[in-house]
Structure 1
Amino acid sequence: MSYKDAYYFSHDSNARQDEKIIALRMKLGWEGYGLYWALIEKLRDATNYMCVKDYNLIAFDLRSDAAKIKSIIEEFGLFAFTINETGECFYSMSLIKRMTQFDSAKAKLSVSGIKGNLIKNKHITKAQAASMNDDEILELNEKIKGNNGGGSGAGRETTANKGKESKGDKSKEKEIEVYRQFLHLSISVEDFDKLIETGYSKEQIDSILESIENYGPNKKYKSLFITAKNWLKKDFGVPKTKEEQVVIENETEEERFHREWKAKNKTIPMH
Protein backbone atom coordinates (compact mmCIF):
# COMPACT_ATOMS: atom_id res chain seq x y z
CA MET A 1 0.00 0.00 0.00
CA SER A 2 1.29 3.44 -0.88
CA TYR A 3 1.83 6.21 1.66
CA LYS A 4 -1.01 8.17 0.07
CA ASP A 5 -3.48 5.25 0.24
CA ALA A 6 -2.83 4.75 3.95
CA TYR A 7 -4.93 7.82 4.74
CA TYR A 8 -7.99 6.86 2.69
CA PHE A 9 -11.03 5.44 4.46
CA SER A 10 -14.78 5.81 3.92
CA HIS A 11 -16.89 5.91 7.09
CA ASP A 12 -20.62 6.66 7.48
CA SER A 13 -21.21 9.36 10.09
CA ASN A 14 -24.27 7.50 11.46
CA ALA A 15 -22.62 4.08 11.74
CA ARG A 16 -23.11 4.12 15.53
CA GLN A 17 -26.89 3.98 14.97
CA ASP A 18 -26.80 0.68 13.09
CA GLU A 19 -28.71 -2.01 15.03
CA LYS A 20 -25.75 -4.38 15.03
CA ILE A 21 -23.47 -1.62 16.31
CA ILE A 22 -25.98 -0.72 19.02
CA ALA A 23 -26.00 -4.36 20.16
CA LEU A 24 -22.20 -4.24 20.24
CA ARG A 25 -22.20 -1.04 22.30
CA MET A 26 -24.75 -2.49 24.73
CA LYS A 27 -22.39 -5.34 25.56
CA LEU A 28 -18.93 -3.77 25.24
CA GLY A 29 -19.61 -0.03 25.37
CA TRP A 30 -17.59 2.53 23.47
CA GLU A 31 -14.50 0.37 23.92
CA GLY A 32 -16.16 -2.27 21.74
CA TYR A 33 -17.10 0.39 19.20
CA GLY A 34 -13.51 1.59 19.02
CA LEU A 35 -12.19 -1.96 18.68
CA TYR A 36 -14.68 -2.58 15.86
CA TRP A 37 -13.27 0.30 13.84
CA ALA A 38 -9.72 -0.80 14.65
CA LEU A 39 -10.62 -4.18 13.13
CA ILE A 40 -12.05 -2.46 10.05
CA GLU A 41 -8.80 -0.51 9.70
CA LYS A 42 -6.82 -3.76 9.91
CA LEU A 43 -8.99 -5.27 7.17
CA ARG A 44 -8.49 -2.15 5.04
CA ASP A 45 -4.74 -2.68 5.17
CA ALA A 46 -4.89 -6.47 4.63
CA THR A 47 -4.55 -8.38 1.36
CA ASN A 48 -7.99 -8.77 -0.27
CA TYR A 49 -9.39 -6.90 2.77
CA MET A 50 -9.53 -10.01 4.96
CA CYS A 51 -7.63 -11.25 8.03
CA VAL A 52 -6.91 -14.67 9.51
CA LYS A 53 -8.98 -15.48 12.62
CA ASP A 54 -6.03 -15.42 15.01
CA TYR A 55 -7.71 -13.67 17.93
CA ASN A 56 -4.67 -13.80 20.23
CA LEU A 57 -2.49 -12.10 17.62
CA ILE A 58 -5.14 -9.47 16.87
CA ALA A 59 -5.69 -8.83 20.59
CA PHE A 60 -1.95 -8.30 21.09
CA ASP A 61 -1.83 -5.87 18.16
CA LEU A 62 -4.82 -3.88 19.47
CA ARG A 63 -3.75 -4.11 23.12
CA SER A 64 -7.01 -5.80 24.01
CA ASP A 65 -8.41 -9.12 25.18
CA ALA A 66 -8.80 -12.10 22.82
CA ALA A 67 -12.28 -12.84 24.21
CA LYS A 68 -13.46 -9.31 23.36
CA ILE A 69 -12.01 -9.54 19.86
CA LYS A 70 -13.75 -12.88 19.29
CA SER A 71 -17.02 -11.47 20.60
CA ILE A 72 -16.91 -8.46 18.28
CA ILE A 73 -16.07 -10.56 15.24
CA GLU A 74 -18.45 -13.47 15.81
CA GLU A 75 -21.47 -12.38 17.87
CA PHE A 76 -23.06 -9.38 16.15
CA GLY A 77 -23.21 -10.25 12.45
CA LEU A 78 -20.76 -7.49 11.60
CA PHE A 79 -18.35 -9.77 9.73
CA ALA A 80 -18.48 -12.67 7.29
CA PHE A 81 -16.19 -15.68 7.17
CA THR A 82 -14.38 -17.72 4.57
CA ILE A 83 -11.49 -20.14 4.09
CA ASN A 84 -8.58 -19.56 1.74
CA GLU A 85 -4.98 -20.73 1.43
CA THR A 86 -4.03 -18.87 4.63
CA GLY A 87 -6.74 -20.54 6.74
CA GLU A 88 -10.00 -19.33 8.31
CA CYS A 89 -10.51 -15.62 7.66
CA PHE A 90 -13.03 -12.89 8.41
CA TYR A 91 -13.98 -9.84 6.37
CA SER A 92 -16.55 -7.04 6.15
CA MET A 93 -18.87 -6.95 3.13
CA SER A 94 -19.57 -3.28 3.80
CA LEU A 95 -15.85 -2.49 3.63
CA ILE A 96 -15.37 -4.60 0.52
CA LYS A 97 -18.19 -2.78 -1.29
CA ARG A 98 -16.63 0.57 -0.46
CA MET A 99 -13.12 -0.51 -1.40
CA THR A 100 -14.31 -2.18 -4.61
CA GLN A 101 -15.69 1.19 -5.71
CA PHE A 102 -12.46 2.90 -4.64
CA ASP A 103 -10.25 0.33 -6.41
CA SER A 104 -12.40 0.57 -9.53
CA ALA A 105 -11.94 4.34 -9.62
CA LYS A 106 -8.17 3.91 -9.18
CA ALA A 107 -8.10 1.34 -12.00
CA LYS A 108 -9.87 3.76 -14.34
CA LEU A 109 -7.29 6.43 -13.55
CA SER A 110 -4.55 3.88 -14.25
CA VAL A 111 -6.10 2.98 -17.61
CA SER A 112 -6.37 6.67 -18.45
CA GLY A 113 -2.66 7.06 -17.74
CA ILE A 114 -1.77 4.05 -19.91
CA LYS A 115 -3.96 5.36 -22.71
CA GLY A 116 -2.24 8.74 -22.54
CA ASN A 117 1.21 7.15 -22.75
CA LEU A 118 0.19 4.93 -25.67
CA ILE A 119 -0.95 8.04 -27.55
CA LYS A 120 2.15 9.98 -26.52
CA ASN A 121 4.45 7.23 -27.80
CA LYS A 122 2.43 6.89 -31.02
CA HIS A 123 1.25 3.33 -30.49
CA ILE A 124 -2.32 4.52 -31.15
CA THR A 125 -4.02 7.74 -32.20
CA LYS A 126 -6.47 9.73 -30.10
CA ALA A 127 -9.30 8.55 -32.34
CA GLN A 128 -8.31 4.91 -31.87
CA ALA A 129 -8.00 5.37 -28.10
CA ALA A 130 -11.48 6.91 -27.94
CA SER A 131 -12.97 3.85 -29.67
CA MET A 132 -11.25 1.31 -27.38
CA ASN A 133 -12.60 0.12 -24.02
CA ASP A 134 -10.48 -0.45 -20.90
CA ASP A 135 -9.90 -4.15 -21.62
CA GLU A 136 -8.67 -3.39 -25.13
CA ILE A 137 -6.30 -0.71 -23.83
CA LEU A 138 -4.86 -3.05 -21.19
CA GLU A 139 -4.49 -5.95 -23.63
CA LEU A 140 -2.76 -3.75 -26.19
CA ASN A 141 -0.42 -2.45 -23.49
CA GLU A 142 0.43 -6.03 -22.44
CA LYS A 143 1.18 -7.00 -26.05
CA ILE A 144 3.51 -4.03 -26.44
CA LYS A 145 5.21 -4.91 -23.15
CA GLY A 146 5.70 -8.45 -24.43
CA ASN A 147 7.19 -7.19 -27.68
CA ASN A 148 9.56 -5.01 -25.68
CA GLY A 149 10.81 -7.97 -23.67
CA GLY A 150 8.76 -7.19 -20.56
CA GLY A 151 9.48 -3.47 -20.46
CA SER A 152 6.93 -0.71 -20.15
CA GLY A 153 4.17 -1.08 -22.70
CA ALA A 154 3.90 2.67 -22.99
CA GLY A 155 7.63 3.21 -23.46
CA ARG A 156 9.10 4.35 -26.79
CA GLU A 157 10.49 1.58 -28.97
CA THR A 158 13.86 1.96 -30.66
CA THR A 159 14.16 1.75 -34.45
CA ALA A 160 16.27 -1.38 -34.09
CA ASN A 161 13.62 -3.10 -31.97
CA LYS A 162 10.92 -2.16 -34.43
CA GLY A 163 12.92 -3.68 -37.24
CA LYS A 164 13.45 -6.92 -35.33
CA GLU A 165 9.79 -7.12 -34.37
CA SER A 166 8.73 -6.48 -37.95
CA LYS A 167 10.84 -9.36 -39.21
CA GLY A 168 9.59 -11.56 -36.38
CA ASP A 169 5.98 -10.68 -37.12
CA LYS A 170 6.37 -11.68 -40.77
CA SER A 171 7.70 -15.09 -39.83
CA LYS A 172 4.93 -15.55 -37.26
CA GLU A 173 2.24 -14.65 -39.78
CA LYS A 174 3.25 -17.61 -41.92
CA GLU A 175 2.71 -19.97 -38.99
CA ILE A 176 -0.65 -18.59 -37.83
CA GLU A 177 -3.73 -20.43 -39.12
CA VAL A 178 -6.45 -17.88 -39.80
CA TYR A 179 -10.07 -18.78 -39.02
CA ARG A 180 -11.67 -15.71 -40.59
CA GLN A 181 -10.41 -12.51 -42.17
CA PHE A 182 -11.90 -9.36 -43.64
CA LEU A 183 -10.49 -5.90 -44.33
CA HIS A 184 -7.56 -5.38 -41.94
CA LEU A 185 -8.99 -7.72 -39.30
CA SER A 186 -8.43 -11.43 -38.78
CA ILE A 187 -8.93 -14.01 -36.05
CA SER A 188 -6.73 -17.08 -35.74
CA VAL A 189 -7.96 -20.63 -35.21
CA GLU A 190 -6.22 -20.51 -31.83
CA ASP A 191 -8.17 -17.42 -30.73
CA PHE A 192 -11.39 -18.91 -32.11
CA ASP A 193 -10.77 -22.01 -29.96
CA LYS A 194 -10.26 -19.76 -26.93
CA LEU A 195 -13.74 -18.31 -27.45
CA ILE A 196 -15.16 -21.83 -27.76
CA GLU A 197 -13.40 -22.85 -24.52
CA THR A 198 -14.95 -19.83 -22.80
CA GLY A 199 -18.35 -21.42 -23.39
CA TYR A 200 -19.70 -19.74 -26.51
CA SER A 201 -21.02 -21.86 -29.38
CA LYS A 202 -19.65 -21.83 -32.92
CA GLU A 203 -22.97 -20.39 -34.10
CA GLN A 204 -22.76 -17.52 -31.61
CA ILE A 205 -19.17 -16.71 -32.57
CA ASP A 206 -19.84 -16.87 -36.31
CA SER A 207 -22.90 -14.66 -35.85
CA ILE A 208 -20.85 -12.05 -33.99
CA LEU A 209 -18.04 -12.15 -36.58
CA GLU A 210 -20.65 -11.64 -39.30
CA SER A 211 -22.08 -8.66 -37.42
CA ILE A 212 -18.63 -7.10 -36.99
CA GLU A 213 -17.88 -7.55 -40.70
CA ASN A 214 -21.14 -5.81 -41.65
CA TYR A 215 -20.71 -3.06 -39.05
CA GLY A 216 -19.98 0.22 -40.82
CA PRO A 217 -17.31 1.72 -38.50
CA ASN A 218 -15.37 -1.55 -38.18
CA LYS A 219 -12.24 0.10 -39.58
CA LYS A 220 -11.59 1.56 -36.13
CA TYR A 221 -11.05 -1.87 -34.56
CA LYS A 222 -7.52 -3.13 -34.08
CA SER A 223 -8.15 -6.69 -32.85
CA LEU A 224 -10.93 -8.94 -34.16
CA PHE A 225 -10.44 -11.33 -31.23
CA ILE A 226 -10.86 -8.62 -28.58
CA THR A 227 -13.79 -7.04 -30.40
CA ALA A 228 -15.54 -10.41 -30.84
CA LYS A 229 -14.99 -11.24 -27.17
CA ASN A 230 -16.54 -7.94 -26.08
CA TRP A 231 -19.48 -8.26 -28.48
CA LEU A 232 -20.14 -11.85 -27.36
CA LYS A 233 -20.16 -10.78 -23.73
CA LYS A 234 -22.49 -7.89 -24.53
CA ASP A 235 -24.94 -9.94 -26.64
CA PHE A 236 -24.84 -13.31 -24.89
CA GLY A 237 -23.36 -12.56 -21.47
CA VAL A 238 -20.85 -14.76 -19.67
CA PRO A 239 -21.67 -18.44 -20.33
CA LYS A 240 -23.17 -20.25 -17.32
CA THR A 241 -24.20 -23.83 -16.63
CA LYS A 242 -27.94 -24.48 -16.27
CA GLU A 243 -27.55 -25.05 -12.53
CA GLU A 244 -25.62 -21.80 -12.09
CA GLN A 245 -28.20 -19.90 -14.13
CA VAL A 246 -31.06 -21.08 -11.89
CA VAL A 247 -29.19 -19.95 -8.76
CA ILE A 248 -28.24 -16.60 -10.29
CA GLU A 249 -31.81 -15.86 -11.42
CA ASN A 250 -33.09 -16.31 -7.85
CA GLU A 251 -30.35 -14.54 -5.89
CA THR A 252 -30.64 -11.15 -4.22
CA GLU A 253 -28.44 -8.17 -5.08
CA GLU A 254 -26.42 -8.77 -1.91
CA GLU A 255 -25.94 -12.44 -2.80
CA ARG A 256 -24.90 -11.51 -6.35
CA PHE A 257 -22.28 -9.05 -5.07
CA HIS A 258 -21.06 -11.63 -2.56
CA ARG A 259 -20.80 -14.34 -5.25
CA GLU A 260 -18.93 -12.15 -7.73
CA TRP A 261 -16.49 -10.94 -5.08
CA LYS A 262 -15.78 -14.48 -3.86
CA ALA A 263 -15.22 -15.69 -7.43
CA LYS A 264 -12.77 -12.86 -8.03
CA ASN A 265 -10.79 -13.64 -4.88
CA LYS A 266 -11.11 -17.44 -5.19
CA THR A 267 -12.26 -18.01 -1.62
CA ILE A 268 -14.27 -20.87 -0.12
CA PRO A 269 -17.30 -19.89 2.01
CA MET A 270 -17.60 -21.39 5.49
CA HIS A 271 -20.79 -23.28 6.39
Structure 2
Amino acid sequence: MAKNQSYYFSHDINASNDPKIAAMISELGMISYAWWWILIEKLAAADDYKLPLKKYTFVALDNELRMDNEQILTSVQQVFNKNQHVLEQNSMCSFCSFLLIYLLIHDYELLDCDDEYFWSPSLIRRFEFKKVKEETIREKRRLAGLKSAESRKAKKQNLTHVQQNLTHVQQNQLIKEKKRKENNIERDTRAREDENLLSMFENEEVKNKPIYELYMKSIGVVSPTIKERLDDLVESYGKERVIVAINTTADNGGNSIKYVETVTAGNLKQEVQKDFGASKCNSNARSVSRKNSRKDEDVDWEEEYQRVHGKK
Protein backbone atom coordinates (compact mmCIF):
# COMPACT_ATOMS: atom_id res chain seq x y z
CA MET A 1 0.00 0.00 0.00
CA ALA A 2 1.34 3.38 -0.94
CA LYS A 3 1.93 6.15 1.55
CA ASN A 4 -1.28 7.93 2.49
CA GLN A 5 -1.69 11.25 0.64
CA SER A 6 -4.79 12.41 2.54
CA TYR A 7 -4.79 15.26 5.02
CA TYR A 8 -7.57 13.75 7.14
CA PHE A 9 -9.16 10.47 8.19
CA SER A 10 -12.59 9.62 9.57
CA HIS A 11 -13.09 9.97 13.30
CA ASP A 12 -16.14 8.63 15.11
CA ILE A 13 -17.85 11.33 17.15
CA ASN A 14 -18.41 8.81 19.96
CA ALA A 15 -14.90 7.31 19.92
CA SER A 16 -14.48 8.03 23.63
CA ASN A 17 -17.41 5.69 24.33
CA ASP A 18 -15.56 2.71 22.86
CA PRO A 19 -15.05 0.20 25.75
CA LYS A 20 -11.38 -0.22 24.93
CA ILE A 21 -10.79 3.53 24.89
CA ALA A 22 -12.81 3.92 28.06
CA ALA A 23 -10.68 1.27 29.77
CA MET A 24 -7.49 3.04 28.67
CA ILE A 25 -8.70 6.41 29.98
CA SER A 26 -9.86 4.81 33.21
CA GLU A 27 -6.47 3.20 33.93
CA LEU A 28 -4.02 5.69 32.40
CA GLY A 29 -5.90 8.93 32.75
CA MET A 30 -7.38 11.43 30.29
CA ILE A 31 -3.88 12.28 29.04
CA SER A 32 -3.78 8.82 27.40
CA TYR A 33 -6.64 9.87 25.10
CA ALA A 34 -4.41 12.64 23.71
CA TRP A 35 -1.49 10.21 23.38
CA TRP A 36 -3.76 7.82 21.53
CA TRP A 37 -4.81 10.31 18.81
CA ILE A 38 -1.29 11.66 18.37
CA LEU A 39 -0.16 8.08 17.85
CA ILE A 40 -2.98 7.48 15.31
CA GLU A 41 -1.90 10.61 13.39
CA LYS A 42 1.66 9.26 13.19
CA LEU A 43 0.42 5.89 11.92
CA ALA A 44 -1.84 7.57 9.32
CA ALA A 45 1.15 9.45 7.92
CA ALA A 46 3.42 6.36 7.78
CA ASP A 47 3.96 4.03 4.83
CA ASP A 48 1.31 1.29 4.86
CA TYR A 49 -0.03 2.95 8.03
CA LYS A 50 2.53 1.03 10.12
CA LEU A 51 5.45 2.03 12.33
CA PRO A 52 8.49 -0.19 12.92
CA LEU A 53 9.25 -1.74 16.28
CA LYS A 54 12.62 -0.01 16.45
CA LYS A 55 14.43 2.05 19.06
CA TYR A 56 14.37 5.21 16.94
CA THR A 57 10.56 4.94 16.71
CA PHE A 58 10.18 5.11 20.48
CA VAL A 59 12.79 7.87 20.84
CA ALA A 60 10.77 9.96 18.39
CA LEU A 61 7.44 9.07 20.03
CA ASP A 62 8.72 10.03 23.50
CA ASN A 63 9.60 13.42 22.04
CA GLU A 64 6.29 13.77 20.18
CA LEU A 65 4.11 12.58 23.08
CA ARG A 66 6.16 14.62 25.62
CA MET A 67 6.06 11.80 28.12
CA ASP A 68 8.42 11.80 31.16
CA ASN A 69 9.30 8.77 33.21
CA GLU A 70 7.71 9.91 36.47
CA GLN A 71 4.37 10.64 34.79
CA ILE A 72 4.16 7.38 32.92
CA LEU A 73 5.43 5.35 35.94
CA THR A 74 2.82 6.90 38.16
CA SER A 75 0.03 6.34 35.59
CA VAL A 76 0.88 2.70 34.98
CA GLN A 77 2.05 1.45 38.35
CA GLN A 78 -0.27 -1.51 38.08
CA VAL A 79 1.16 -2.41 34.66
CA PHE A 80 4.64 -2.67 36.19
CA ASN A 81 3.36 -5.13 38.73
CA LYS A 82 1.72 -7.30 36.01
CA ASN A 83 4.49 -7.17 33.41
CA GLN A 84 7.76 -7.32 35.26
CA HIS A 85 9.00 -10.07 32.95
CA VAL A 86 8.48 -7.82 29.92
CA LEU A 87 10.36 -4.99 31.52
CA GLU A 88 13.22 -7.25 32.51
CA GLN A 89 13.55 -8.88 29.07
CA ASN A 90 13.14 -5.80 26.87
CA SER A 91 15.92 -3.29 26.52
CA MET A 92 13.44 -0.61 25.39
CA CYS A 93 11.42 -0.68 28.60
CA SER A 94 13.02 2.62 29.58
CA PHE A 95 10.98 4.36 26.88
CA CYS A 96 7.61 5.53 28.09
CA SER A 97 6.17 5.24 24.56
CA PHE A 98 7.22 1.60 24.38
CA LEU A 99 5.29 0.82 27.55
CA LEU A 100 2.25 2.69 26.21
CA ILE A 101 2.37 0.77 22.91
CA TYR A 102 2.71 -2.49 24.83
CA LEU A 103 -0.40 -1.72 26.86
CA LEU A 104 -2.39 -0.64 23.77
CA ILE A 105 -1.52 -3.95 22.07
CA HIS A 106 -1.85 -6.49 24.90
CA ASP A 107 -4.16 -4.97 27.49
CA TYR A 108 -6.54 -2.74 25.50
CA GLU A 109 -6.27 -4.47 22.08
CA LEU A 110 -6.38 -1.12 20.26
CA LEU A 111 -3.22 -1.90 18.27
CA ASP A 112 -1.81 -4.99 16.60
CA CYS A 113 1.78 -6.02 15.80
CA ASP A 114 4.15 -8.59 14.39
CA ASP A 115 7.89 -9.00 14.80
CA GLU A 116 8.66 -5.84 12.80
CA TYR A 117 5.73 -3.36 12.89
CA PHE A 118 2.75 -2.23 14.91
CA TRP A 119 -0.46 -0.67 13.53
CA SER A 120 -4.11 0.16 14.15
CA PRO A 121 -6.50 -2.34 12.46
CA SER A 122 -9.34 0.18 12.75
CA LEU A 123 -7.26 2.86 11.00
CA ILE A 124 -6.31 0.51 8.17
CA ARG A 125 -9.97 -0.55 7.68
CA ARG A 126 -11.02 3.08 7.48
CA PHE A 127 -8.39 3.92 4.88
CA GLU A 128 -9.24 0.80 2.89
CA PHE A 129 -12.89 1.84 2.92
CA LYS A 130 -11.87 5.37 1.96
CA LYS A 131 -9.73 4.03 -0.88
CA VAL A 132 -12.59 1.90 -2.25
CA LYS A 133 -14.95 4.85 -1.98
CA GLU A 134 -12.52 7.13 -3.79
CA GLU A 135 -11.97 4.52 -6.52
CA THR A 136 -15.73 4.18 -6.91
CA ILE A 137 -16.06 7.94 -7.20
CA ARG A 138 -13.19 8.08 -9.69
CA GLU A 139 -14.81 5.32 -11.77
CA LYS A 140 -18.15 7.13 -11.73
CA ARG A 141 -16.41 10.33 -12.76
CA ARG A 142 -14.52 8.46 -15.48
CA LEU A 143 -17.75 6.97 -16.84
CA ALA A 144 -19.46 10.35 -16.57
CA GLY A 145 -16.53 11.89 -18.43
CA LEU A 146 -16.79 9.26 -21.17
CA LYS A 147 -20.52 9.82 -21.40
CA SER A 148 -20.00 13.57 -21.51
CA ALA A 149 -17.32 13.15 -24.18
CA GLU A 150 -19.65 10.96 -26.24
CA SER A 151 -22.41 13.52 -25.81
CA ARG A 152 -20.09 16.33 -26.93
CA LYS A 153 -18.93 14.20 -29.86
CA ALA A 154 -22.54 13.47 -30.85
CA LYS A 155 -23.41 17.17 -30.58
CA LYS A 156 -20.35 18.02 -32.63
CA GLN A 157 -21.31 15.44 -35.25
CA ASN A 158 -24.88 16.76 -35.31
CA LEU A 159 -23.52 20.28 -35.64
CA THR A 160 -21.25 19.09 -38.44
CA HIS A 161 -24.22 17.45 -40.19
CA VAL A 162 -26.26 20.61 -39.76
CA GLN A 163 -23.40 22.66 -41.16
CA GLN A 164 -23.02 20.23 -44.06
CA ASN A 165 -26.75 20.31 -44.73
CA LEU A 166 -26.66 24.09 -44.49
CA THR A 167 -23.72 24.08 -46.87
CA HIS A 168 -25.68 21.87 -49.30
CA VAL A 169 -28.67 24.20 -49.05
CA GLN A 170 -26.46 27.20 -49.63
CA GLN A 171 -24.80 25.46 -52.58
CA ASN A 172 -28.21 24.59 -54.04
CA GLN A 173 -29.31 28.17 -53.56
CA LEU A 174 -26.15 29.39 -55.27
CA ILE A 175 -26.73 26.95 -58.14
CA LYS A 176 -30.35 28.04 -58.47
CA GLU A 177 -29.33 31.70 -58.32
CA LYS A 178 -26.64 31.11 -60.95
CA LYS A 179 -29.11 29.27 -63.20
CA ARG A 180 -31.67 32.05 -62.73
CA LYS A 181 -29.10 34.66 -63.71
CA GLU A 182 -28.09 32.58 -66.73
CA ASN A 183 -31.74 32.28 -67.76
CA ASN A 184 -32.20 36.01 -67.34
CA ILE A 185 -29.09 36.64 -69.43
CA GLU A 186 -30.32 34.23 -72.10
CA ARG A 187 -33.76 35.82 -72.12
CA ASP A 188 -32.27 39.29 -72.34
CA THR A 189 -29.98 38.11 -75.12
CA ARG A 190 -32.93 36.68 -77.06
CA ALA A 191 -34.88 39.87 -76.50
CA ARG A 192 -31.95 41.90 -77.82
CA GLU A 193 -31.64 39.55 -80.78
CA ASP A 194 -35.34 39.93 -81.52
CA GLU A 195 -34.99 43.69 -81.24
CA ASN A 196 -31.97 43.58 -83.53
CA LEU A 197 -33.87 41.49 -86.10
CA LEU A 198 -36.86 43.77 -85.99
CA SER A 199 -34.62 46.80 -86.20
CA MET A 200 -32.88 45.13 -89.13
CA PHE A 201 -36.25 44.85 -90.83
CA GLU A 202 -37.07 48.47 -90.02
CA ASN A 203 -33.75 49.86 -91.19
CA GLU A 204 -34.35 48.71 -94.74
CA GLU A 205 -37.23 48.30 -97.08
CA VAL A 206 -38.46 44.80 -96.28
CA LYS A 207 -41.05 43.40 -98.65
CA ASN A 208 -41.48 40.10 -96.74
CA LYS A 209 -41.79 41.61 -93.23
CA PRO A 210 -45.20 39.95 -92.56
CA ILE A 211 -43.60 36.57 -93.36
CA TYR A 212 -40.77 37.20 -90.87
CA GLU A 213 -43.16 38.36 -88.16
CA LEU A 214 -45.41 35.32 -88.67
CA TYR A 215 -42.39 32.99 -88.50
CA MET A 216 -41.11 34.59 -85.28
CA LYS A 217 -44.58 34.44 -83.71
CA SER A 218 -45.34 30.86 -84.73
CA ILE A 219 -41.97 29.08 -84.92
CA GLY A 220 -38.90 30.94 -83.69
CA VAL A 221 -36.19 33.55 -84.17
CA VAL A 222 -35.48 34.77 -87.67
CA SER A 223 -31.73 34.78 -88.20
CA PRO A 224 -30.12 36.27 -91.30
CA THR A 225 -29.81 32.76 -92.77
CA ILE A 226 -33.48 31.95 -92.09
CA LYS A 227 -34.42 35.34 -93.55
CA GLU A 228 -32.67 34.47 -96.80
CA ARG A 229 -34.35 31.05 -97.00
CA LEU A 230 -37.77 32.61 -96.36
CA ASP A 231 -37.04 35.10 -99.14
CA ASP A 232 -36.18 32.20 -101.46
CA LEU A 233 -39.44 30.42 -100.58
CA VAL A 234 -41.49 33.54 -101.25
CA GLU A 235 -39.74 34.08 -104.54
CA SER A 236 -40.17 30.43 -105.59
CA TYR A 237 -43.66 29.67 -104.26
CA GLY A 238 -45.27 32.97 -103.43
CA LYS A 239 -46.29 34.61 -100.16
CA GLU A 240 -49.61 32.79 -99.84
CA ARG A 241 -48.06 29.33 -100.06
CA VAL A 242 -45.31 30.28 -97.56
CA ILE A 243 -47.89 31.66 -95.09
CA VAL A 244 -49.90 28.42 -95.37
CA ALA A 245 -46.72 26.37 -94.89
CA ILE A 246 -45.70 28.35 -91.76
CA ASN A 247 -49.16 27.90 -90.16
CA THR A 248 -49.17 24.17 -91.05
CA THR A 249 -45.70 23.79 -89.52
CA ALA A 250 -46.82 25.47 -86.28
CA ASP A 251 -50.00 23.34 -86.11
CA ASN A 252 -47.95 20.14 -86.54
CA GLY A 253 -45.38 21.14 -83.87
CA GLY A 254 -42.58 21.88 -86.32
CA ASN A 255 -39.86 24.26 -85.23
CA SER A 256 -37.42 24.69 -88.14
CA ILE A 257 -37.14 26.43 -91.49
CA LYS A 258 -36.48 23.07 -93.12
CA TYR A 259 -39.92 21.89 -92.01
CA VAL A 260 -41.46 25.00 -93.60
CA GLU A 261 -39.58 24.35 -96.85
CA THR A 262 -40.76 20.72 -96.92
CA VAL A 263 -44.39 21.70 -96.30
CA THR A 264 -44.25 24.42 -98.94
CA ALA A 265 -42.84 22.04 -101.56
CA GLY A 266 -45.37 19.34 -100.57
CA ASN A 267 -48.30 21.72 -100.87
CA LEU A 268 -47.17 22.80 -104.33
CA LYS A 269 -46.82 19.18 -105.41
CA GLN A 270 -50.37 18.44 -104.24
CA GLU A 271 -51.64 21.42 -106.17
CA VAL A 272 -49.89 20.29 -109.32
CA GLN A 273 -51.25 16.76 -108.98
CA LYS A 274 -54.74 18.10 -108.41
CA ASP A 275 -54.55 20.33 -111.44
CA PHE A 276 -53.19 17.47 -113.54
CA GLY A 277 -56.10 15.22 -112.49
CA ALA A 278 -58.69 17.87 -113.30
CA SER A 279 -57.14 18.42 -116.71
CA LYS A 280 -57.21 14.69 -117.44
CA CYS A 281 -60.87 14.44 -116.49
CA ASN A 282 -61.72 17.33 -118.78
CA SER A 283 -59.80 15.72 -121.60
CA ASN A 284 -61.70 12.42 -121.17
CA ALA A 285 -65.01 14.24 -121.14
CA ARG A 286 -64.20 16.01 -124.37
CA SER A 287 -63.19 12.70 -125.97
CA VAL A 288 -66.50 11.04 -125.02
CA SER A 289 -68.41 14.02 -126.30
CA ARG A 290 -66.63 13.80 -129.62
CA LYS A 291 -67.43 10.06 -129.88
CA ASN A 292 -71.08 10.68 -129.13
CA SER A 293 -71.15 13.35 -131.79
CA ARG A 294 -69.80 10.94 -134.34
CA LYS A 295 -72.41 8.36 -133.35
CA ASP A 296 -75.12 10.96 -133.77
CA GLU A 297 -73.90 11.68 -137.26
CA ASP A 298 -74.14 7.96 -138.23
CA VAL A 299 -77.70 7.36 -136.83
CA ASP A 300 -80.76 7.54 -139.16
CA TRP A 301 -82.97 9.46 -136.86
CA GLU A 302 -86.08 9.07 -139.12
CA GLU A 303 -85.85 5.35 -139.06
CA GLU A 304 -85.20 5.33 -135.33
CA TYR A 305 -88.27 7.40 -134.72
CA GLN A 306 -90.49 5.07 -136.72
CA ARG A 307 -89.05 2.03 -134.84
CA VAL A 308 -89.65 3.53 -131.41
CA HIS A 309 -93.20 4.56 -132.13
CA GLY A 310 -94.12 1.20 -133.73
CA LYS A 311 -94.75 2.60 -137.17
CA LYS A 312 -92.22 0.50 -138.77
TM-score by length of 1: 0.38
The structure with more helix, counted as a fraction of residues: 2
The structure with more strand, counted as a fraction of residues: 1
TM-score by length of 2: 0.33
Report which structure shows greater RCO (CA 8 Å, sep ≥6).
1
